[in-house]
Amino acid sequence: MKILSTSGKIIVLIIILSLISLMGYAIFGSRVNIKTSPLVGTVAPDFALKTFDGEDLKLSDLKGKTVLLNFWASWCMPCRQEAEALEKSWQKYKGKDVVFIGVNVWDENSNALSYLNKFGGGYPHGMDPNEEIQVDYGVGGVPETFFIDPSGNIRDKFSGPLTEQIIDYFVLKAQKPQNNES
């Protein structure tokens, strides 16, 4: 039984191929320009943090410095994995206009403090007071790290445990003047 004529078959084939091409474009086409966060390339949301040492810290006071902003929690295993690299890198960049800040989220104060005692807390860490900073930064999980350049723009976001090499790459990138990269 012949349902479609030859021209009908050609039209159906064209429609199917067009749909496959559109799906391909939707899936792979725009991937080149996908940023890790819509905030990359924009001004970093300002925040105020009370550190576990009792000091007040404000992001806007750190203009002119490169900032590594790391979101972590004591129950997070990948955070423990990256702790050593963060501590070593902080030592390395100390006094070189690079500031490391740790923002503790979804955690208990006592657990956060014992984590810092165990894994090191040389640089300032504080608890997100209203659990609002992480939403301002679009954090979906921990660890997530933002690299903010000296002019206060978010240059990159990295999800997952950091290594010293990854930190070096993004810190050096954030220190360089921004090109018109997408």
Partner 1 sequence: MTNSSTINTFILYTFLFMATLIALQTQSLAQGSIDDQVKEISALLMCPVCQGQSIGESNSNLAHDMREITRRQLEEGKSKEEILAYFVNSYGESILASPPPKGINWLLWLLPGVAIIFGGLGITLYLYKSQGNKTKEQDTSKRIKPEVDNDYIKKIEEELEKGDS
Pick the piece of the chain touching partner 1 (CB under 8 A) from 2-10, 87-95, 163-171, 172-180: 2-10
Tell whether residue 32 is a contact of partner 1 (CB under 8 A).
Answer: no
Tell whether residue 40 is a contact of partner 1 (CB under 8 A).
Answer: no
Q: 160, 126, 153: which is closest to 55 by C-alpha? A: 126
Tell whether residue 97 is a contact of partner 1 (CB under 8 A).
Answer: no
Q: 44, 100, 40, 113: which is closest to 74 by C-alpha? A: 113
Question: Toward partner 1, which CB reaches closer, 127 or 167?
Answer: 127
Query: Residue 18 belongs to what H/E stretch?
Result: helix 6-28
Q: Residues 6 or more apart from 72 whose CB is under 8 A from it?
A: 79, 102, 103, 104, 105, 142, 143
Residue 77 CB, shortest distance to partner 1, in Å, is 16
Cβ contact 158:171 at 8 Å: no
Residue 1 CB, shortest distance to partner 1, in Å, is 6
Tell whether residue 38 is a contact of partner 1 (CB under 8 A).
Answer: yes
Tell whether residue 56 is a contact of partner 1 (CB under 8 A).
Answer: no
Distance CA 131, CA 126 (A): 11
Footprint (CB under 8 A) of partner 1, residues 102-131: 106, 130-131
* Contact residue for partner 1 among 14, 17, 25, 109 (CB under 8 A): 25
Pick the piece of the chain touching partner 1 (CB under 8 A) from 15-23, 55-63, 150-158, 166-174: 15-23
Task: Provide the CA 156 distance to its chain's centre, in angstroms.
Answer: 6
* Contact residue for partner 1 among 66, 104, 134, 145 (CB under 8 A): 134
Joined tokens for residue 74: 């004591």
**Which CA distances in Å does 18 have to 14, 15, 22, 23?**
6, 5, 6, 9
Chain residues in the site for partner 1 (CB under 8 A): 1-4, 8, 15, 19, 22, 25-26, 30, 37-39, 106, 130-132, 134-141
